[in-house]
Amino acid sequence: MNAEVTYNDQVLMEVRNLKKWFSVGSGLFNRGKSFVKAVDDINLTINYGETLGIVGESGCGKSTLARTIMRLISPTDGEVVFEGKDIARMSPRDLRKARRDIQMVFQDPYASLNPRMRVKDILCEPFIIHSIATKDGAMKKAEELLDMVGLSKESMNKFPHEFSGGQRQRICIARALAVNPKLIICDECVSALDVSIQAQIINLLVKLQKQLGLTMIFISHDLRVVQHISTKVAVMYLGKIVELASKTDIFENPVHPYTKALISAVPLADPDAKKNRIILKGDIPSPINVPSGCSFSTRCSMAQEKCHIDSPELKEISEGHFCRCMSVHR
């Protein structure tokens, strides 16, 4: 349990051409129906032991992507291949088995925990549901989980409201670990916490990943947090990935104008240091009425006439570095 697990190049999950469109009716009897393309043609490969950070402004589709990967909502099209099996087309029985290997930690730890259940019942429930342990065995494992996330066994008889936000999130992480998952999806799991508590939770996740050999998808709008925890980063804008590369390439050599703007907005540790901030023009377009051509063209300082007509593809511009921009593709 204490031995650190190293990364490898074996693929754990492949997301292929994944789409999630929501229909929006207009007019009498929903005539003139249109669609919100919350997730639009997403392709990702996640290796064992990696942490994929997914960043972007609110409303870009990050959380919808996470829920579609988990099949908490059904995809419109595409595949989510986990260890060779397509989650998007699994039967309910097979999906239940697959969810032992894929767990999720949500943004609001209080809303994620049943306020009428004691911590011991919250942590024992996964063991009972998945027939992993007897009731007595589950209690012992629950105590071990609490110790793993830095909480004492005295917490077992308490209710969620008796804990701070950071402590509640530790309980949520412990619950996610109960079934020994291979992949954990963290959806804005520290955004509701104070900065000092955020650091504690991030450091805990890093420690647990090394200790247990976890693979993670970490979703956040805070690039500083993503930079600290991720090995690879995907940048999303209006349902599409516009740049995908290693953490080093994204933060030291960003190429998409949207990525450059996001990184320029990250505050520097030195308050006297100067930084050229890139101010994007206009607001994010409505997801119901996405601009023709490149969806970022209405806010891009590099946009040319063709950018308003043709939609760019996500292309590899150097080894492992992908970008969706016609100005970069030249």
Residue 5 in domain: no
Structure-block tokens of residue 302: 């590099």
Domain at 46, CATH number: 3.40.50.300
Residue 158 in domain: no
Band of residue 29 on the pLDDT scale cut at 50, 70, 90? low
Band of residue 28 on the pLDDT scale cut at 50, 70, 90? low
Three-class SS state of 159: coil
Rounded to a whole number of angstroms, the CA Rg of the chain reads 21
Residue 151 in domain: no
Residue 162 in domain: no
Q: Which amino acid is at 19?
A: K
Residue 310 in domain: yes
Structural domain harbouring 191 = 11-101+179-267+275-329
Residue (of 323, 263, 327) closest to 300 by Cα position: 327
Average pLDDT, whole number, for the chain? 90
Report the alpha-carbon distance of residue 77 to residue 74 in Å, rounded: 9
Tell me what pLDDT residue 256 has.
Answer: 96
Residue pLDDT, tens place only, 38-78: 999 999 999 999 999 999 988 899 999 999 999 999 999 99
Residue 174 in domain: no
Tell me what pLDDT residue 9 has.
Answer: 75
Tell me what pLDDT residue 5 has.
Answer: 41
Count of the separate structural domains present in the chain:
1
Residue pLDDT, tens place only, 94-153: 998 888 999 999 988 889 999 999 999 999 999 988 888 888 889 999 999 999 999 999
Residue (of 109, 101, 107, 112) closest to 186 by Cα position: 107
Residue 132 in domain: no
What are the strands of the beta sheet with 34-47, ordered from one edge? Answer: 34-47, 11-24, 77-82, 85-86
Report the alpha-carbon distance of residue 66 to residue 78 in Å, rounded: 14
Task: Sort 23 into a burial class: Cβ within 10 Å, 0-12 / 13-18 / 19+.
Answer: exposed
**Whole-model pTM?**
0.90
Task: Sort 91 into a burial class: Cβ within 10 Å, 0-12 / 13-18 / 19+.
Answer: exposed
CA atoms 144, 146, 201, 103: torsion sign: positive
Residue 144 in domain: no
